[in-house]
């Protein structure tokens, strides 16, 4: 079995054209249609890294993360 890959667009009436299809004339073929996902719009961050760090640095300033982990594990394994 030979396989060929073509990229094309489905036309308004639901038809599509296969490039160089003359060489496939009078031959049985099997067609698979794989719909490509629409391209997501390019993500543009609302703030740069400096603004992010200025906003969130020190959020948990007076808290020791290791102490919180220790307390959590003590509660979990009582």
DSSP string, 13-75: TS----TTGGGGTTS-------PPPPPPPPP--SS-HHHHHHHHTTTTTT--HHHHHHHHHHH
Cα gap 72→75, rounded to integer Å: 5
Give pLDDT tens digits along the chain (78 positions).
788 888 888 888 888 888 777 788 888 888 888 888 887 777 777 888 888 888 887 776 777 878 889 999 999 998
Decide: 5 and 20 in contact? Cβ < 8 Å.
no
Q: Quick one: pLDDT at residue 76?
A: 92
Please tell me whether residue 76 adopts helix, strand or coil conformation.
helix
pTM: 0.37
């Amino acid at each position: 079995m030979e396989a060929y890959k073509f990229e094309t667009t489905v036309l308004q009436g639901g038809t599509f054209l296969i490039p160089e299809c003359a060489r496939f004339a009078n031959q049985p073929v099997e067609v698979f249609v794989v719909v490509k996902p629409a391209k997501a719009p390019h993500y543009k961050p609302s703030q740069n890294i400096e603004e992010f760090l200025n906003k969130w640095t020190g959020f948990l300033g007076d808290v020791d993360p290791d102490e919180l982990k220790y307390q959590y594990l003590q509660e979990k394994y009582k």
